Structure 1
Amino acid sequence: MARPPLPIGTWGAIRTEKLGLNRFCARARFRDYDGKTRDVEATGTTGPAAIRALKEKLRDRVTPNDDEITRETRIDTLADLWLEQMVAEEQVVPQTLNTYTSSLRSKIRPALGDLRIREATVGRLDKFLREIAAEHPSAAKTAKVVLGQMFALAVRRGAISTNPVRDTGRLRTPKRKVAALTDDDLHAVRAAIRQWQAPTPGKSGPRHTGDLADIVDLMLATGARIGEVLALRWGDLDLGAERPTVTISGTLIYLKGQGIVRQEWTKSDAGYRTLVLPSFAVGVLLTRKVAAVDSSIDAVFATRRDTWLAPNNVRRQWRRARDEAGLTWVIPHTFRKTVATLIDQEADTKSAAAQLGHGSEQVTNRHYVAKPALAPDVSVILERLGDQGDTSRAT
């Protein structure tokens, strides 16, 4: 009867042989992960030393292949190969690739780059991610996505059999209370912008334009993201219609080597939408149209050099405008949440989701609508705790 084959990833009896003075060789038959059984050997100055060296070699054994990724490949190299594949296959949009590259540069490479793939254990990766999450939860989630895809590539190339990132702990992002602007807050926002835009005697530098006030008004009128508002072209507007509209059809992104460019699609399919404009927004746009100069990019908001207005510059302007108004908690996304909250209150969540360009009402309800938790109506049950004709209290 034929001897049964060794289980995958195991070896048979270890044999030692003296090769010379202070030189020993240990050998064993190892069944590789491709099912083939091969001779593996290691040397040492003594028999036991050779056996220890062989066991370490067998422990880290990888199926021989012609691929460039093995268990001995450094994570730095794995990152480079993964990025090359992402670029070649155009798996993600450029801004997402920039985010991944930034995570590699600032988080992953400094901490893990010199490790070999076999050394990236579940425990080591879990500790790395938890340390980042303690200070920057969103950065930890990005790093986990990047590492997960990198090690998935290593699995596909046969370097490892399982992806260690899958077994790391779940990263929990602290839930933040959705904050929307009240009427008083809106008055304060506009007052802060007016004060910031007012000319200051003796102040050097270019005079502030009315862009910030108009941008904020359009965010409040549409619920659009700041990049979507800044990507608006005059051709996206129909101000002469009985019900004036704007079509959100793109957004601004930053590309390395190109700067700020207009991406000809929105964040999601649901983000491509046509919105009916309230009258105050129509007034803002008509005023800008009258004062507008010819623009080669047809931008509603263009710089003096006829380029797209950078979202980061607008965010910086808003931070300066809000500093003295006690509105440090208000960010551009707050205007978007204010729109969602108002529509949810006056109409429904479905309408709010459509206005914001969300594909899911759950996203809108959970992250964009400010409202207190509504308890179920148990007033009939609680009625039993009331005074049920207790005569002892009668006068």
Structure 2
Amino acid sequence: MARPPLPLGTWGTIRTEKLGPHRFRARARYRDYDGTTRDVEATSTTGPAAIRALKEKLRDRATPNDDEITRETHVSTLADLWIEEVTAEERVAPQTINNYKTSLRTSILPTLGNLRIREATVGRIDKFLREVAKTRPSAAKNAKVVLGQMFALAVRRGALTTNPVRETGRLRKPRRTVRALEADHLEGVRSAIRHWQQPTPGKPGPRHTGDLADIVDLMLATGARIGEILAVRWEDVDLAAEHPTVTICGTIVYLKGKGFFRQEWTKSDAGYRTVVLPRFAVGMLLARKLTAAGNPHDAIFASRRGTWMSPHNVRRQWRQARADTGLEWVTPHTFRKTVATLIDKEADAKSAAAQLGHASEDVTNAYYIVKPALAPDISHILEQLGASPTTTTPERPDHGPSRTA
């Protein structure tokens, strides 16, 4: 009966032989992951030392193949090959690939880039992620996503049998406090914008337009992201309808070497939506249309050169406008949270999620709606802990007439 083959990645009996004074060789048959059994050997000054050297060599055995990724490949090379793959597949948006490259450049490669794939153990990766998370939780989260996909490629190419990133510990999520604008805050926002837009004698630079005020109004009217607001074209609004609407169907993104441009789809499939406009937004858009200068993109909000307006530029303007107002905590995303909180209060979370372009209300509830946790109504049970409505003094027991000596 034929001897059964060795399981993949295992070896048979280790044999040693003396080659000369202070020189020994250890040999074993090893079945590689391609199914071929090969002789592997190592030498050292003593027999036990040769055996130890052989076991280390077998442990770090790289699968012989024609692939460009093996256990000996450096993590930096794996990163380059992975970026090439995701770029060629065209499944990921270009700006997302740019974010991947930023994570590699700023976090991953400076620490792990010179390691070989076999040296990037669960422990080393876990320690790296936790160190990053101490000061930059979001950067650690992004790095874990990137590393997970990189090492998944190494598994697919046969360099590894398991993905070490999957075995790392869960990263601690920072405690989030959702904060939205209230009525007095909104008045402060509009007052800050009015003050910032006023012409100042002797102040250098062009006079401010009404763009910032109108952008904020449309954000409050729709709950859309700032990039989505700046991507709205006149063809996307219907102001003549009985219930005027705007269709959110694109966003402004930035690519190195290309600059800002309109992406013809939103952040997610659920982000493509048509929302009904409140009266204050309809009035603003009608007034703006009467004085709007033409531009080749049909953009409602365009730069002075007729190009797409930069979200970074709008954020910078808002930082200038809110200076010395006590509104430093207010960002363009705060307007989105304000919309979600109001809709949830007056309607429900499902309506808020649809308005914001979320696929479900889970994200909306967790990150966009300000509300305390509501405990179930068990007041009828707790009623038992209250004082009795009538309190009586218990009678003393009657022991009968007293006896005298």
TM-score (norm 2): 0.93
Residue deviations 1:31-87 (CA, integer Å, cap 9, x gap): 222333211123345555443332221110122111000000000000000000001
Q: Give 1:145 shift.
A: 0.7
Match of 1:250 in 2: 250
Pairing of 1:1-395 with structure 2 (within 5 A): 1-19=1-19, 24-44=24-44, 47-391=47-391
Residues 245 and 275 of structure 2 are in contact (CA less than 8 Å); yes or no, is this contact kept in structure 1?
Answer: yes
**Aligned mates of 2:305, 2:277 — CA distance in 1:** 29
Residue deviations 1:185-217 (CA, integer Å, cap 9, x gap): 000111111111112222112222211111111
Q: Give 1:8 shift.
A: 2.8
Residues 26 and 43 of structure 2 are in contact (CA less than 8 Å); yes or no, is this contact kept in structure 1?
Answer: yes
**Aligned mates of 2:126, 2:30 — CA distance in 1:** 31
Distance 1:236 1:14, change over 3 A: same
Between the two proteins, the alignment pairs up a number of residues equal to 393
- SS of the equivalent of 1:297 reads coil
* Deviates further, 384-393 or 203-212: 384-393
TM-score (norm 1): 0.95
Structure 2, unmatched stretches of 5+, are 394-405
Q: Give 1:358 shift.
A: 0.9
**Aligned mates of 1:4, 1:359 — CA distance in 2:** 54
Q: Give 1:347 shift.
A: 1.2
Residue deviations 1:84-103 (CA, integer Å, cap 9, x gap): 00011112111111111110
Q: Give 1:392 shift.
A: 5.3
Q: Give 1:21 shift.
A: 6.8
Letter in 2 for 1:289: K
Distance 1:24 1:379, change over 3 A: closer
Letter in 1 for 2:309: L
**Aligned mates of 2:83, 2:21 — CA distance in 1:** 49
* Deviates further, 188-197 or 217-226: 188-197
**Aligned mates of 1:101, 1:35 — CA distance in 2:** 36
Letter in 1 for 2:163: N
The percentage of counterpart residues that share the same residue type is 74
Larger radius of gyration between Structure 1 and Structure 2: 2
- SS of the equivalent of 1:324 reads coil
Q: Give 1:228 shift.
A: 0.3
* Deviates further, 22-31 or 86-95: 22-31
Letter in 1 for 2:206: P
Q: Provide the aligned C-alpha RMSD in A.
A: 1.7
**Aligned mates of 1:26, 1:388 — CA distance in 2:** 88
**Aligned mates of 1:54, 1:91 — CA distance in 2:** 44
